[in-house]
Amino acid sequence: MSDVTPTLPDKTPGGYENPSALHALLDAICTRLEGQTLIAAKSVRVLPEFHADLYNKLVAVMNKKLSVLIQVGFERLNKGDKSIAVYFRDMQITVDVYESVLINQSASGTKVSALSFAEACALRLHAWQPDKTAALVNPGTLMLAENGSLQMDREKSDLKAGLVCYSVSLTTGGCLAAHSS
């Protein structure tokens, strides 16, 4: 396996009830990334921001017990047309790739940099449109953001501790969301 199993106890995944269309969109993005050749070959974990075990996995990377983790979340959602209450426009989605450099370069690591994984995420998601579902009526096509498409996130990185985070920013022109019941 490409990373060390964390010593922290795992929580039950998906602890939320009544997931929304926004949950469905993040899940679709995670599934798409899990199918990317490099990410799948290296068994890198891809988690949405609402995953019940995300905190444990981030702590494991910071404590040098997990080599690489990919986290998908929203940076910004703007309401769209005033006549449609469930329409979001200018959605910005961020894919953060965390790497514990020392662990990742060791025998138990992936030996692939966070930058390479971030590039793979960008290529996998750019110009991709998730399938329509009952929860996700019109997801829109993901496009790399005009500015800061792929960059090192210096606020999330701690270079002295060997923690690196690269962020990929994507936007979608619109998403007609229907809340699951």
Q: Which two tokens stand for residue 163?
A: 């923690």
Establish if 9 belongs to a structural domain: no
Establish if 11 belongs to a structural domain: no
Q: Please report, in tens digits, the pLDDT of each residue of the chain (181 residues total).
A: 344 443 333 333 455 565 677 888 899 999 999 999 999 999 999 999 888 778 888 888 888 889 999 999 988 776 666 555 556 667 889 999 999 999 999 999 999 999 999 999 999 999 999 988 877 777 789 999 988 899 999 999 999 999 999 999 999 866 655 444 4
Q: Can you give the residue range of the structural domain that contains 126?
A: 21-177
Q: What is the CATH number for 172?
A: 3.30.2000.10
Of 103, 149, 97, 154, the C-alpha closest to 122 is 149
Establish if 5 belongs to a structural domain: no
pTM for this model (two decimals): 0.84
Overall number of domains in the chain = 1
Establish if 160 belongs to a structural domain: yes
List of residues 6+ apart from 31 with CB closer than 8 A: none
